[in-house]
Amino acid sequence: MPQKQSIVKTDKIDCRNICKQLKNETLKSITIPEEQRESFRSLFRERNNFVMGLRHIKLNIKSYLMYCGITIPEEFDNASWSKNFIEWIKNQSNEYETGSLKISYLLKRYEFMYQESLSVSNQIRLYARKHYKKDYYLLMSIPGIGGITASAILAELGDLRKYNRFDDLASSVGFVPGIYSSGDKTIVKGITPRAKSLLRSYLIEASWQAVRFDPVLQEYYRSHYGKQPNKIIVKVARKLLSRIHAVIKTEIPYQMGVIK
């Protein structure tokens, strides 16, 4: 793209550029998801809004307890909120009535976000099992891939069989390096920002689970010992994506130790 176009953008310049690319046959087609998958993807992304909202209200509750000088017991101070912890919060007395009301309303928001998040997650898994049954259970055979992650793959990517080369799939998801090269100088800037960021985060999270149960991935993780864990897990996630691609292409459920 000429420097002028990066500084001055008009419809006239855009049209001229498109015409030149059409003439030179340099334009590449893109995949437009069918309406059914587009709708499924929208629902899945809405679930992420509920998850983020739930995380936000948890932080609000903890912040307010700290503001009131209430220390959370060690057995409750973790990411998983049990029913006992909720009851403990309800039983915290406040010097002022308005303080107790504040906690009450925060807990009501938490309960709403929790129930909605749970409901939409169940609906997403149910839909994936009904409309993508074969691929859903193929994905579920891979260690680290649960119902939500399998649904995320199907919602964001659709049929993985359209990717003839794994490198194309890895590039689509965002498991390729960002590289700046000029002359003899090459700088690797980590993984590319051009990515399906939501799906990539799910796969990285799934990789932490996979290394716990799959001996091959465990060995692969340990072979990079000494590097930063967050960089190693990205390598593991790319390897996990390779397994996902292989399982869908061959239509054979994953067998431990068969796919390296």
pLDDT digits (tens, 9 = 90+) for 91-128: 887 788 898 899 999 999 999 999 999 999 999 999 99
pLDDT digits (tens, 9 = 90+) for 167-192: 999 999 998 877 666 666 666 666 77
Q: Where are the alpha helices (DSSP H) in 10-34?
A: 11-24
* Domain annotation covers residue 110: yes
Within this chain, do residues 57 and 110 fall inside the same structural domain, yes or no?
yes
Nearest partner of 243 among 226, 257, 260, judged by Cα: 260
* Domain annotation covers residue 249: yes
Within this chain, do residues 182 and 107 fall inside the same structural domain, yes or no?
no
Q: Which residue has the tokens 């799939």?
A: 169
Within this chain, do residues 246 and 167 fall inside the same structural domain, yes or no?
yes
Give the side-chain half-sphere CA count within 13 A for 159: 12
Nearest partner of 178 among 189, 164, 166, judged by Cα: 189
pLDDT reported for residue 192: 75
Within this chain, do residues 165 and 244 fall inside the same structural domain, yes or no?
yes
The mean-pLDDT minimum among 32-41, 107-116, 209-218 falls in 32-41
* Domain annotation covers residue 10: no
Within this chain, do residues 36 and 127 fall inside the same structural domain, yes or no?
yes
User: What is the overall mean pLDDT for the chain?
Assistant: 88
**Whether the Cβ atoms of residue 139 and residue 153 lie closer than 8 Å to each other:** yes
* Domain annotation covers residue 223: yes
Within this chain, do residues 116 and 165 fall inside the same structural domain, yes or no?
no
* Domain annotation covers residue 140: no
pLDDT digits (tens, 9 = 90+) for 135-169: 999 999 999 999 999 999 999 999 999 999 999 99
**Whether the Cβ atoms of residue 155 and residue 138 lie closer than 8 Å to each other:** no
Within this chain, do residues 107 and 48 fall inside the same structural domain, yes or no?
yes
Alpha-carbon span 216 to 205, nearest angstrom? 18
Question: Model-level pTM?
Answer: 0.82
* Domain annotation covers residue 169: yes
pLDDT-above-70 percentage for the chain: 91
Going by their DSSP bridges, the two strands 185-191 and 177-182 should be labelled as antiparallel
Tally of domains within the chain: 2
pLDDT digits (tens, 9 = 90+) for 189-205: 667 777 789 999 999 99
Residue 131 has pLDDT above 90, yes or no: yes
What range defines the domain where residue 104 resides?
32-131
* Domain annotation covers residue 54: yes
pLDDT reported for residue 146: 94
Within this chain, do residues 173 and 230 fall inside the same structural domain, yes or no?
yes
In one letter, which amino acid is 242? S
Q: Print the SS3 string covering 207-247.
A: HHHHHHHCHHHHHHHHCCECECHHHHHHHHHHHHHHHHHHH
Within this chain, do residues 104 and 188 fall inside the same structural domain, yes or no?
no
